[in-house]
Amino acid sequence: MAMLLHACCGPCAMYPLELLTGKGESLDLFWYNPNIHPQFEWDRRLANLGLAADHYKIRLIKDDDHCEQEYWESKTYLKEYETRCDMCYDIRMDAVARYASENGYDSFCTTLLVSPYQQHEKIAKIAQDKASKYNVDFEYIDFRPGFRQGQDMARQIGLYRQKFCGCIFSLEESKFRDKIYRSFE
């Protein structure tokens, strides 16, 4: 049975990969995160996910769709979604479920489920809806017990550990905003 594991970044992938490969799961990583902004942050997270994939010798499938700042800033998501997070989860889980279905995977999951800062129930519901829509299984795994372990593992192999979720709104709200921008000047 093959699983497609959506990954938001290298550090969040570490514990799920450790757990799943330790159980002998057959899986590939899937990068689809058009919410991540600005472009240098998107590039940095993708590069670090590549390092995590290499560390575990896992195939990384990349979708090169990236954030359109004007779309996010226009707040058009409010017409269809209650919150920006709802939109973000919906867009990404739709892409991973569709890709899994179209490419012969038995199931999918997401590394978003490792973070104690994410809305697990909402992610699980949206992912299950997308699984039904595309006729593929969503495998809910609560990776949160390994969050700190995964962060330590990421630190050990030198991965960049970001200070905001990735979207333009969280960047603007982050107390690290100026530091993040200065690091790319």
Element (H, E) at 155: helix 147-156
As given in the structure block, the two tokens for residue 135 are 């006729």
CATH superfamily of 2-182: HUPs (3.40.50.620)
Q: What is the DSSP string of 126-142?
A: HHHHHHHHHT-EE----
As given in the structure block, the two tokens for residue 132 are 């039904």
Rama region for 169: left / alpha / beta (φ>0; ψ in -120 to 50; rest) = alpha
pTM across the whole model: 0.84
pLDDT tens string, the chain, 185 residues long: the values are 699 999 989 999 999 999 999 998 899 999 998 877 777 788 888 999 999 999 999 999 998 666 555 555 555 555 666 666 788 888 889 999 999 999 999 999 999 999 998 999 999 999 999 999 999 999 999 999 999 999 998 899 987 666 655 566 655 665 554 555 555 55
